[in-house]
Amino acid sequence: MPSNSKNHSKEQLASLTLSAIGVVFGDIGTSPLYALKEVFHGGLTIDKIHVLGVLSLIFWSLTMVVTIKYAIFIMRADNKGEGGIIALMTLALQGSRDNPKTKAFIVTIGLLGASLFYGDSIITPAISVLSAVEGLQIIAPALSSYVLPVTITVLSGLFILQAKGSGNVGKIFSPIMCIWFGLLAVLGIINIIHQPGVLMAINPYYAAHLLIELGWHGFLIMGAVVLAITGAEALYADMGHFGLKPIRFAWFSFVFPALLLNYFGQGALLIDRPDAIQNPFYLLAPSWALYPLLFLSTMATAIASQAVISGSFSVTRQAIQLGYCPRMNILHTSGDEMGQVYVPAVNWLLMISVFILVLTFQSSSALASAYGIAVTGTMIVDTILAFIIIQALWQWTKITSVAFLSTFLAIDFLFFFSNSLKIPTGGWLPLLVATVLFLLMTTWIKGRAMLADYMDERKILFEDLEVKVRDKLVRVQGTAIYLTRSLHGVPQVLLHNLEHNHVLHEQVIVLSIVTTNEPYVEEEQRVKIRAFGENQGFYRVKLYYGFKQNADVRRALELCMQQGLNINPKNTSFFIGSERISFRLKSPMPKWRRALFRFLFYNSSSAIEFFKIPADRVVELGIRIEL
C-alpha cells in the first residue's frame, strides 16, 4: 500500500528519504551535466553579468516550478497516496462526475499529458547517458570516437536488464545517488570559494536584467533553462512509493542545495575560465578525478534512465487498467512490491527509439534541441488538472485558485513557447510520438465505447432469461462463468451459447471486472455478489480493482467461495467471447480510425493471461459485431 498513508518513525523516514534520493531525483539530478552548457551554446557572451543572469534564471526556475509548484502544491493532490499524471487525472475526475463535458476535457488533456510523458521517456535516457559518456572528449580526446559505441552499450545493458526487475539493482541506487549529489555539492563549493560573488545570483534582479537586456534572445534562452527542471514531475509521480514527507525532506535538505551549489560552482568556473564552456561540469573537477567522475556520471545517468523506463511501465499499466490502452503482457518482477512491473512491448519499443535518437543526433547538444517540449507540455497539463482539483475538491476561494492557475500557467507557457522554437531542429520528435500515442489511445477509447453501446442495445434482463430457462432449456451440472465488460444485463457470450448449444449450467456466474478511480482496493471490498431469481442459480459477480492493481480471477474466486458461493474449480468452465469486429458504411467511427481500432483490438493480449484465468477451463465463442 502507499507509504503516504502512514506516519513514519524517524528510522522509516530516514530509510525512505535515502531510497527516494536513489529513485526520484535521477533525472533532475543529472541535469548539471548539460543544462548550463546548453544555455550558453547559442552564443551568449560569457562574462560575469550574463553568468549571474543565467544562474538567477536557473535558481528561480528550480524554486518556482520544482519547489513551490510540485513539492509544496501539487504533491498535496495525492490519490490515496498515489501521484503521477494518471492519478492526477482520476482525482480531477472525482470532482466532475455530474458534468460530462468537464469529464471529457479532463480525460482528453490527461491522455495528452500521458502521451507527452512517453515522448520525454524516449529522450531522457538518450541525452542523460550520452552527456555523461561525452566526458571522454574532455578526459581523452583521442577516445572521442568511442562515445557513441559506449553509450549504445550502456543503454543496451540497461534495457536488457529490465526483464530481471529493478528491485535488486535498486538496492545500490541510493548509495550511488547519495555519493553523486554529495559530489555535486563538493565540486560546486570548491569553485564557489574562488568566486563567492556568484552567490548574488539568488537576487531575481539579475534574471530580470538579463531577459530585458537580451529581449527576444532572452526568450530563446528559456528553452535551454528548462533543462535544469526536467524531472520535476518525478517528485509527484513517485509519491506512492515513498510518501510525501520523505520526498520533500530529500529535496529540501539535500538534493536542492546540492544542485544549486553545483550550478553556482559551474558559474564561478565560467567567470574565471570562459573557455570551460566546452564542458563546465567535468572541468569543475581536478584532472586526477576525471575518470572516477566519468564512471560515477555514467552510473547516475543510467539510474536516471531506469527511473524513467520504470515510470513508463507504471503509466502503461495504469492506462490499461482504466481502459485507455489495449491489454499488453505485464510481468511482475517482484513478489513483494506490486508496483515493480515489466512491460516487454514498451521496453523494446523504447530501446529501439532511444537507439535511433542516439545514432541520429549523436551529441547531447543536438539532443537538447529535441528536449523540453514534451516536459513543458506535461507541466501545463499538471497545472490545469491541479486547478480543477483545487476548485472542485479543495474548494479554495476563487481569487486564490485563479492566482495559482495564472502564476504557474504563465511560467509553464513561457517555457513551452520558448521550447516550441526547437520544433524544426528536433522538437518535432517528442510531439510526433505524443501525437501517435494520443491517436492510438483516443481511437481505443472510442472503439470500446461503441462496443459497449452495441452490447447494451442487445442485452436482455435476467428476469427474461429466467422465463426462457424455465420453459425451454435443459440445465447441466457444473458452474459456467461468463466474463463480460458490461455491468448490467445478460452478456452476449451467454446468449450466443444458448442459441447454439441450447443448454445452461446449473450455476451461472456473470463476472465483470471493474477498475476504480482509486489506486488500490482492499480484498475485503474486492467482491460483490448478487443472486437473481429463486433457486435458478444465476449470480452476477463484480470484482473491483484499483488502477495500480492487476486482476487475478483465480484469487477472486477464492474470495467468492469465502462469501458462500459454491464453486468447484474442477467442475467450472469459463466462457469468453471472441469478438470479430466489422464496421457499417455509416459507422460513427471515422474511416481512418477503423483499421487502427481493428489492429489494436486483435493485437491486445488475451484476457485469459491478463486476468489469470485457468487456461484449461476456458471455452471461447466467436461473436460477430458490426459497429
Q: Which amino acid is at 616?
A: D
Q: What is the pLDDT of residue 158?
A: 86
| Residue 412 cell numbers, joined | 509553464
Give 537 or 465, the one with higher predicted confidence. Answer: 537
Cβ atoms of 317 and 329 within 8 Å: the answer is no
Count of other CB atoms within 10 angstroms of residue 355? 17
The CATH number given to whatever domain includes residue 234 is: 1.20.1740.10
Q: Which amino acid is at 32?
A: P
Q: What is the pLDDT of residue 53?
A: 93
**Domain-embedded: residue 239:** yes
Q: Do 441 and 550 reside in the same domain of the chain? A: no
> Residue 329: is its pLDDT beyond 70?
yes
Q: How many Å from the N-terminal Cα to the C-terminal Cα in the chain?
A: 41
pTM of the model: 0.84
Number of domains in the chain: 2
Q: Do 380 and 502 reside in the same domain of the chain? A: no
**Domain-embedded: residue 9:** no
3-state helix, strand, coil in the chain (%, to 5): 65, 10, 20
| Residue 68 cell numbers, joined | 513551490
Among 406, 423, 446, give the residue marking a domain's end. Answer: 446
Cβ atoms of 61 and 226 within 8 Å: the answer is yes
Q: Do 439 and 514 reside in the same domain of the chain? A: no
**Domain-embedded: residue 591:** yes
Q: What is the pLDDT of residue 469?
A: 61
CA–CA gap between residue 129 and residue 69 (Å, rounded): 28
Among 415, 446, 477, give the residue marking a domain's end. Answer: 446
In tens, the pLDDT along 551-603 reads 888 888 888 888 888 888 788 888 887 778 888 888 888 888 888 888 888 88
Identify the CA nearest to 331 among candidates 167, 168, 163. Answer: 163
Q: Do 305 and 166 reside in the same domain of the chain? A: yes
Q: Do 42 and 152 reside in the same domain of the chain? A: yes
- Any idea which residue has 504563465 for its cell? 410
Per-residue DSSP letter, 473? P
**Domain-embedded: residue 1:** no
> Residue 200: is its pLDDT beyond 90?
yes
Identify the CA nearest to 158 among candidates 315, 377, 312, 321. Answer: 312
In tens, the pLDDT along 480-534 reads 888 887 777 778 788 777 777 777 888 888 888 888 878 888 888 888 888 876 6
CA–CA gap between residue 487 and residue 489 (Å, rounded): 7
Q: What is the pLDDT of residue 180?
A: 93
Segment 94-99 shows an average pLDDT of 74
> Residue 422: is its pLDDT beyond 50?
yes
Quote the percentage of the chain above a pLDDT of 90: 22
Segment 340-355 shows an average pLDDT of 87
Q: What is the pLDDT of residue 339?
A: 52
Q: What is the pLDDT of residue 558?
A: 86
Domain that includes residue 432, residue range = 15-446
Q: Do 462 and 430 reside in the same domain of the chain? A: no
Segment 43-71 shows an average pLDDT of 92
Q: What is the pLDDT of residue 280?
A: 92
Cβ atoms of 233 and 378 within 8 Å: the answer is yes
Segment 53-65 shows an average pLDDT of 94
> Residue 291: is its pLDDT beyond 60?
yes
Q: Do 282 and 321 reside in the same domain of the chain? A: yes
CA–CA gap between residue 186 and residue 262 (Å, rounded): 8
Q: What is the pLDDT of residue 472?
A: 63
In tens, the pLDDT along 166-197 reads 555 556 788 889 999 999 999 999 999 999 99
Per-residue DSSP letter, 547? T
Q: What is the pLDDT of residue 579?
A: 78
Q: What is the pLDDT of residue 465?
A: 66
Cβ atoms of 117 and 315 within 8 Å: the answer is yes
Q: What is the pLDDT of residue 467?
A: 63
Q: Do 120 and 246 reside in the same domain of the chain? A: yes
> Residue 546: is its pLDDT beyond 90?
no
In tens, the pLDDT along 131-151 reads 889 888 888 888 888 889 999
Q: Do 148 and 233 reside in the same domain of the chain? A: yes
Identify the CA nearest to 441 among candidates 74, 71, 115. Answer: 115
Q: What is the pLDDT of residue 5?
A: 42
**Domain-embedded: residue 5:** no
What average pLDDT does the structure give for the chain? 84
**HSE toward the beta carbon, residue 512, CA cutoff 13 A:** 16
Query: CB-based contacts of 158: which residues, under 8 Å, 6+ apart?
Result: 125, 302, 305, 306, 309
Q: Do 558 and 587 reside in the same domain of the chain? A: yes
**Domain-embedded: residue 379:** yes
CA–CA gap between residue 259 and residue 81 (Å, rounded): 27
Q: Do 359 and 491 reside in the same domain of the chain? A: no
**Domain-embedded: residue 233:** yes
Q: What is the pLDDT of residue 66?
A: 92
Among 420, 446, 472, give the residue marking a domain's end. Answer: 446
Q: Do 103 and 224 reside in the same domain of the chain? A: yes
**Domain-embedded: residue 560:** yes
Give 169 or 279, the one with higher predicted confidence. Answer: 279
